[in-house]
A and B are shown apart, each in its own frame.
Chain A
């Protein structure tokens, strides 16, 4: 059974410290959506000395650009996007208090220790699970940048959102250990 974790709206230290790379989790709480263009806007705002449209202290981001909601839906399909493209923005987001990211894909090198230094975790959702993951979003509200369409900054309330801990707060990086464990020597 997955570990239940909550962020209403912050991810508490005692919760995130207990997570271990490879652990299945089920997230309920508030997530702030982000993508390339969203992060770029936030960076511009911070660079000009203005306050961000949302306080990121203790918060968890979800890297997602949902498809348009059909009539009767809260959001359309809403699976994760690749975290690698956010590397350029993560140090700034960590300085703003970010304590977790939900996304997909791998992180290697210096950025992994940046997570540890910031006391943040990386949770991977399944890429390409958009139809199902959209159903776990029970409320959505555009907070800023509506002109960015799918890259607008939104507040998502999620219930029982499935993910796997990839980077924990103790130096674990599950993609690296899992791949090494299953790798077979190459027959040439």
Chain B
């Protein structure tokens, strides 16, 4: 049994949130640099070069890479042998989001009431997902999900007879429809299987997976490669200005599902896809 004070979560969340907004993940920056050479359209290459420069300047000068610091999405994976003390885990993480937003000069982009739109004091400033894992380990992941890309995400419940062809078409069509709005080149997270909400969560975890890691299952990795090729054949290009780099990566996660179902969720990440993760 390991005992941890929840204040550790406040400090770590605040720090990771600021880090994520000032410095994009190194795997994504590498991919953008490579894309700035590989892109075939002139305007696309220039656009990618601007983006790389933006990320270099943001890191050097400690500025938010984008004014939309998004909805903060926190994934807490906590070992079943960890005992949390000192207060509420949820409130500790929320306090960390508020601190990071304020300390980092990030825009608070969350409204408390999605219909009436105002924000009562104390309303949740982000979204938390929890996972119980074996042992005493803890991993905290903090992502900033901008809504240009989030708004273009989609979920559909297919029938088994629709098969993999329909699933692939749905993923490609979702990115095509997203076009420039999602801030391409995008990172595409796909969740296949489970239930309605499990597919969405799989897609979120997929979009947050490093983009230099292919899925360990060969057939899923092959699906990722096929989808990436088809998406880059769409011609959307950087910022929808036309070109050969529409997505930097397609990450797919799969899970068992019902004999009657085939849920598919597509979560789109913009080219910064801000995320940081730490073991506590």
A: which residues have CB within 8 A of B?
A: 22, 24, 37, 64-70, 76-79, 81-82, 84, 104-106, 124, 126-132, 134, 149-150, 162, 164, 174-175, 177-188
Bound together, the chains give a CA A22 to CA B107 distance in angstroms of 31
The answer to whether A179 and B181 have CB atoms under 8 Å apart is no
Does the CB pair B57–A162 fall under 8 Å? Answer: no
Query: How many residues of chain B are within 8 Å of chain A by beta carbon?
Result: 50
Contact B239 A126 (CB under 8 A): yes
Q: How far is the CA of A29 from the CA of B239 in the complex (A)?
A: 24
Determine whether the beta carbon of A76 is less than 8 Å from that of B230.
Answer: no
Interface of chain B, main secondary structure:
loop
Q: How far is the CB of B9 from chain A (nearest CB, A)?
A: 24
- Can you offer 20 A-B residue contacts whose CB atoms are under 8 A? A22-B43, A67-B64, A67-B67, A67-B105, A79-B66, A81-B148, A105-B240, A106-B179, A128-B271, A131-B64, A132-B54, A149-B108, A150-B107, A150-B109, A174-B241, A178-B235, A178-B242, A182-B242, A182-B243, A187-B230
B141 within 8 A of A: no
13 new A-B contacts at CB < 8 Å, known A178-B241, A179-B236, A179-B237: A76-B64, A77-B63, A79-B68, A104-B239, A106-B179, A130-B66, A131-B66, A134-B63, A175-B241, A181-B242, A182-B237, A183-B235, A184-B233
Given that A37-B117, A131-B57, A131-B65 are known contacts, is A178 also in contact with B237, CB under 8 Å in the complex? yes
Specify which chain B residues have a CB less than 8 angstroms from the CB of A180 in the assembled complex. Answer: 235
List of B residues within 8 angstroms of A37 by Cβ: 117
Q: Are B179 and A175 in contact (CB-based, < 8 A)? A: yes
Pick from B69, B107, B146, B151 the residue with the most CB of A within 10 Å: B107
Closest-by-CB residue of B relative to A75 is B67
